[in-house]
């Protein structure tokens, strides 16, 4: 999986695709770091439109991202979740700590 980044004004969108699991660890971290380091970006959206599966290590990566984003005083939302992704997020009750749209 290679995440891509779209920047629209103050919104940075990280578009993921395929399987989001531990194998995406490095690419995901690099992309996120570049977005966090960008002072113009105020809101980060993680776009799951093309993700068909995510596992528990992906949830761990999202938690890490949330922590870093909060430290950089930006906001974070998870968007365009398909049913399979939504299901995993629901079982983990991530709706309680993430904005999911």
Chain residues binding other proteins by CB under 8 A are 22, 55-57, 59-61, 63-64, 67, 90-94, 96-97
- Residue 86: CB minimum distance to other proteins, A: 14
Residue number with CB closer to other proteins (11 or 72) = 72
Are 53 and 22 spatial neighbours (Cβ–Cβ below 8 Å)?
A: no
- Residue 90: CB minimum distance to other proteins, A: 8
Structure tokens at 51: 């993700």
Are 59 and 81 spatial neighbours (Cβ–Cβ below 8 Å)?
A: no
């Amino acid at each position: 999986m290679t995440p891509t980044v779209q920047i629209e004004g103050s919104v940075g969108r990280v578009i993921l695709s395929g399987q989001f699991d531990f194998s995406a660890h490095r690419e995901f971290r690099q992309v996120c770091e570049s977005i966090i380091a960008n002072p113009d970006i105020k809101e980060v959206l993680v776009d799951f439109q093309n993700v068909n599966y995510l596992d528990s290590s992906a949830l761990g990566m999202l938690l890490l991202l949330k922590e870093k984003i909060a430290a950089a005083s930006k906001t974070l939302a998870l968007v365009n979740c398909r049913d399979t992704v939504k299901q995993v997020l629901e079982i983990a009750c991530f709706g309680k700590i993430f904005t999911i749209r």
